[in-house]
Amino acid sequence: MGQLLKQIVKLYDKVTSVWISSWAERWVSNILVLSFILGIFYYASIQVGWLLPANDFFTHPFFAIEISFTLLLIFELFSLIFSLPRSVARSNSKQYEVLSLIFLRSGFKEFSHIDNLSDWSINSEPVIHMFAYGAGGLVIYALTNITYSFQKHTKITVNKAEQLSFIAVKKLLALILLLSFFIIGISDTVHFIKTGTYSQSFESFYTILIFCDILIVLIALRYSTAYNVIFRYSAFVLATIFIRSSFSLDVLESIAVGVSGAVFVLLLTLGYNYFSKESLDYKNNKLSK
């Protein structure tokens, strides 16, 4: 492993150790609680005339919920980035975890735009969307946990040196993702302050993630050209594309694509486990003859 990769590994390990520390967990919780309380206080101050809203977004009574849940999603994306070097399969399932939370956040977003809960005539569409997003998130939650229970992590490298080299490259990609995430986040924050609307931050992040996944597939060919391995890694890229595609669709179409993607990953996991076992049994029988 080259000297540059060794330095990258050290940097990644330091950043990861900070992120998974109990200190970081407490601060994440503190930030979420503080953002929610400040949001409530800001809205109350607007209502009594102490402050003027920065834009129309802050005139909705439940905007604090959307802000807090958006921050929670941002912290979950950090966890997604740090899961990349550990396991491609786990990282992909983590992507669907985040998607389920994005659906829940979208449900909260619909709720935050309701001004009068008692008026069904103007609230029927957001309420229906809330239930749809909640149901979609719940189905993906269940499918992802089922997928986790069936996942088997098989090394594609033949020795420890190759394994460390492969992990080091994935850590490099994780750091690139982290840097990209900060750039997207800064741009998104500036856009939100100016307009009161979110830019396409999640879409941009998943687009970059697709390119990282493709790079991992191509790099993995250095260590294994087995059909099962190539198909599995390539299919994970397609599963990420399903997530990215869901962001550009209408509510029901988005949920349908997201749920279908989670089903696809579950079937991929079951198929890989079955056919890998069949291939191993065949090799063992051939050697025993």
Return d(Cα 54, Cα 76) in angstroms, integer: 27
Residue-wise pLDDT tens digits, 152-192: 877 788 888 888 888 999 999 999 999 998 888 788 777 77
* Tally of domains in the chain: 1
Range of the domain at 92: 3-288
Return d(Cα 23, Cα 227) in angstroms, integer: 44
The angle subtended at Cα 34 by Cα 64 and Cα 196, nearest 5°, is: 35
Closest by Cα among 67, 59, 96 to 80:
96
Measured over the CA atoms of residue 98, residue 73, residue 142 and residue 112, the dihedral's sign is negative
Burial zone of 276 (CB within 10 Å; 0-12 exposed, 13-18 middle, 19+ buried): middle
| Structure tokens, 187 | 């741009």
Residue-wise pLDDT tens digits, 174-184: 999 999 988 88
- Residue 18, CA atoms < 13 Å, CB-side half-sphere: 7
Residues of the chain with confidence (pLDDT) below 70: 1, 112-122, 193, 195-200, 278-289
